[in-house]
Amino acid sequence: MGLSKVLAIVDGTPAGAHALTTALNLGRRFSCRIDVLHVEIDPEASIPILGDGMSGTVVAQMIDSLRETSEARRIEASRMFDELCVAKGVPVVEASEPLKDGSFGVSFSHIVGVEADEVSSRGRLADLIVLARPAADSELDLSPSVDAALFNTGHPVLVVSAAPPEKLLETVAIAWDGSREAARAVTVALPFLKQASKVFVVTAGSTSVMSAPSQLANFLVGHGISAKIWAFTPDDKPTGKAILAETEKAGATLMVMGGYGHSRFREMVLGGVTRTVLNEADLPVFMAH
């Protein structure tokens, strides 16, 4: 079991370059296809959202600003692809061109639309979706795309928050609470775990006997993976912050965790622990729901 196709979302920001770099490293490691996608915002389609309670002049100014930003990001996304792929001799193929199993190659697609919608549809035919978390000062809200990737595709998501570590699979930390989501994340992360130099099961709180950390470690042994249990007491820290602190202590280069969410006032809202990790993690986070 491995990777055949990775969908990498490049938004035209420096964070997008980190996502592309991470995806390319995975493509080389797993000898798989990388489909790079840039979705340009359609300013006209944003009028109903931007125009609520605003004057026509203000709406026009916002649309012009959005159009300028969108064009700049499209140009930058294309430049990133040329710099990181074309200039470095990475095999480039058309988006519609099939690749044989075990072949490394990349494609680039630019479309105008809604990123979350495209992630939902295209991500269903990818083994993994790689996205970047925007910088804190970015006006881009990534959460709809993360929600779409995590809850609408049926496939795992890798969220990259900063420059990727040189060795992504050096030390992998599994955030384990015995839940269905955590078990699902471990299962789909097996190709990563098998190639990791070190694996830690980071755990806090109580779990059932059948889903205890020791049982997870035994399960991993059956897949040829040796994992050590890293138990901790969160004290007064929120669970998300405590998990991040422990993975940092463990020297993790990648975190694997379940993606939690509930639906009430919007299509999908990420749970508190999940959102804390996504907003504050300095390391890439591999998630599945």
Please report, in tens digits, the pLDDT of each residue of the chain (289 residues total).
589 999 999 999 888 999 999 999 999 999 999 999 999 988 777 665 555 566 677 777 878 888 899 999 999 999 999 999 999 999 999 999 999 888 999 999 999 999 999 999 999 999 999 998 865 555 444 578 888 999 999 999 999 987 888 899 999 999 998 989 999 999 999 999 999 999 999 998 666 656 889 999 999 999 999 999 999 987 788 888 999 999 999 999 999 999 865 443 333 344 577 778 888 888 999 999 8
Cβ–Cβ < 8 Å for 254, 200: no
**What's the rounded Cα separation, in Å, for the pair 122 and 110?**
13
Evaluate the CA torsion angle 233, 235, 241, 246 in order and state its sign.
Answer: negative
Evaluate the CA torsion angle 3, 201, 260, 243 in order and state its sign.
Answer: negative
Residue 44 has what pLDDT?
73
Is the domain defined by 171-288 classed in CATH 1.20.1280.50?
Answer: no
Paired sense of beta strands 171-176 and 198-203, if any: parallel
Q: Which amino acid is at 245?
A: A
Cβ–Cβ < 8 Å for 201, 185: no
Topology alike, domains 5-160 and 171-288: yes
**What's the rounded Cα separation, in Å, for the pair 261 and 142?**
16
Cβ–Cβ < 8 Å for 196, 171: yes
Domain 5-160: CATH superfamily, name plus number: HUPs (3.40.50.620)
Residue 260 has what pLDDT?
67
How many CB atoms are located within 10 Å of the residue 51 CB?
Answer: 15
Question: In the 8-state DSSP scheme, what is residue 85?
Answer: I
Cβ–Cβ < 8 Å for 93, 107: yes
Cβ–Cβ < 8 Å for 12, 38: yes
Which helix (H) or strand (E) element contains residue 5?
A: strand 5-9
Q: Provide the whole-model pTM.
A: 0.89
Task: Show me where the domains of the chain are located.
Answer: 5-160, 171-288
**What's the rounded Cα separation, in Å, for the pair 30 and 25?**
9
Q: Which residues contact 234 (CB under 8 A, 6 or more apart)?
A: 204, 205, 242
Residue 262 has what pLDDT?
45
